[in-house]
């Protein structure tokens, strides 16, 4: 579904993209931000209690939400909308809940590709939640190109440091040897298992990765490389804490950007 906000902003719920129609600029929201925004857009001005939003955006999908999470993602949406000139769409009613400004018109259209203008996309990652610069629309010119390259490099550095820290912590608390393994998945992308797995575990993890890609609308082809790791659960009800980084490669096979997905107490259906 495509939502047209105030005649100038389009939100596509299929890929969580927010587009500024006059300039054809666009940015991509995270999955959780997209779910929250779509729930608000479908509320028709109704005041939604915080508990309702936490249940429908996080609990319903096996995630753990909190008021802090909700406040952060509301801030994300407000900054993204403000970047395209829409300042007062989301309204907080103290001690009651959240609603949309009914004075701002919202219409719905079918998600047909021809109806969505071409756009230069700025990727917003989960880990960049506290960075206001991530919500500025893409500008043309040499200064912007240099800025984007630095943003990509910073995101890659953060991801790599996180993986290194994860490996160090696991090696410090376990006698098992860390042995990263790379395998190919249906579609053509490669997956790197940060921790070594035996043959039986690899098949189970492949299914887990494919399901995570599907529910987070991520592609799997030769232009992607996946990094996967998890902390084993101590019970049979879930798979513990899981991280999946879906990284885009350039023509030289180097990572240029990543979307990171974190699961807590996640279980494969």
Mean pLDDT of the chain: 75
Considering only residues 108 and 178, tell me which one the structure prediction assigns the higher pLDDT: 108
**Residue with the larger pLDDT of the pair 248 and 262:** 248
pTM: 0.45
Segment 109-129 mean pLDDT: 46
Which pLDDT belongs to residue 50?
92
Alpha-carbon gap, residue 111 to 264, rounded angstroms: 31
Report the alpha-carbon angle 66-218-11, nearest 5: 65
Confidence label for 267 from pLDDT (cuts 50, 70 and 90): low
Question: Out of 121-125, 199-203, 251-255, which region has the weakest mean confidence (pLDDT)?
Answer: 121-125
> Does 41 have pLDDT greater than 90?
yes
Q: Which of 54-58, 148-152, 208-212 has the highest mean pLDDT?
A: 54-58
Distance between alpha carbon 261 and the CA centroid of its chain, in Å? 7
Closest CA to 265 of 64, 30, 65: 64
Q: What is the model's pLDDT at position 6?
A: 92
Read off the pLDDT of each residue in 114-124 and give the average, rounded to a whole number. Answer: 41
pLDDT in tens, 86-105: 988 999 998 899 999 999 99
Question: What's the 3-state SS for 218-249?
Answer: CCCCCCEEEEEEEECCCCCCCCCEEEEEEEEE
> For 134-167, what is each residue's pLDDT tens digit?
444 444 454 555 555 666 666 666 666 666 665 5
The CA dihedral of 101, 105, 108, 109, to the nearest 10 degrees, is: -150
- Asked whether 2 and 119 are in contact (CB, 8 A), the reply is no
Predicted pLDDT of residue 224? 87
Comma-separated ranges of CATH 1.10.10.10 domains in the chain: 2-138
For the residues 196-215, what does the mean pLDDT come to?
Answer: 75
On whether the CB atoms of residues 22 and 1 are closer than 8 A, the answer is: no
The class level of CATH for 2-138 reads mainly alpha
DSSP run (H or E) holding 27: strand 25-28
Helix (H, G, I), strand (E, B), or coil: what is residue 201? helix
Mean predicted confidence (pLDDT) in 128-133: 41
């Amino acid at each position: 579904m495509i939502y047209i906000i105030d005649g100038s902003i389009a939100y596509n719920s299929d890929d969580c993209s927010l587009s500024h129609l006059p300039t054809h600029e666009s940015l991509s929201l995270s999955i959780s931000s997209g779910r929250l925004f779509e729930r608000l857009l479908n509320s028709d001005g109704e005041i939604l209690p915080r508990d309702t939003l936490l249940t429908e955006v996080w609990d319903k999908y096996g995630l753990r939400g909190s008021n802090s999470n909700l406040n952060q993602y509301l801030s994300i949406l407000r900054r993204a909308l403000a970047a395209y000139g829409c300042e007062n769409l989301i309204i907080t009613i103290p001690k009651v809940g959240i609603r949309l400004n009914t004075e701002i018109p919202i219409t719905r259209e079918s998600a047909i590709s021809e109806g969505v203008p071409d756009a230069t996309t700025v990727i917003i990652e989960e880990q960049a939640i506290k960075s206001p610069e991530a919500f500025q629309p893409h500008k043309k010119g040499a200064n912007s190109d240099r800025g984007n390259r630095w943003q990509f490099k910073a995101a890659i550095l953060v991801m790599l440091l996180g993986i290194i820290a994860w490996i160090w912590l696991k090696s410090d608390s376990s006698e098992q040897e860390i042995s990263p393994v790379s395998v190919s998945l249906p579609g053509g992308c490669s997956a790197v298992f940060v921790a070594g797995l035996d043959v039986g575990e690899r098949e189970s993890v492949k299914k887990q990765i494919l399901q995570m890609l599907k529910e987070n609308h991520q592609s799997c082809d030769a232009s992607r490389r996946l990094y996967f790791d998890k902390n084993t659960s101590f019970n049979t009800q879930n798979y513990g804490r899981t991280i999946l980084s879906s990284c885009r490669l350039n023509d030289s096979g180097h990572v240029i950007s990543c979307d990171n997905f974190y699961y807590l107490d996640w279980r494969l259906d």
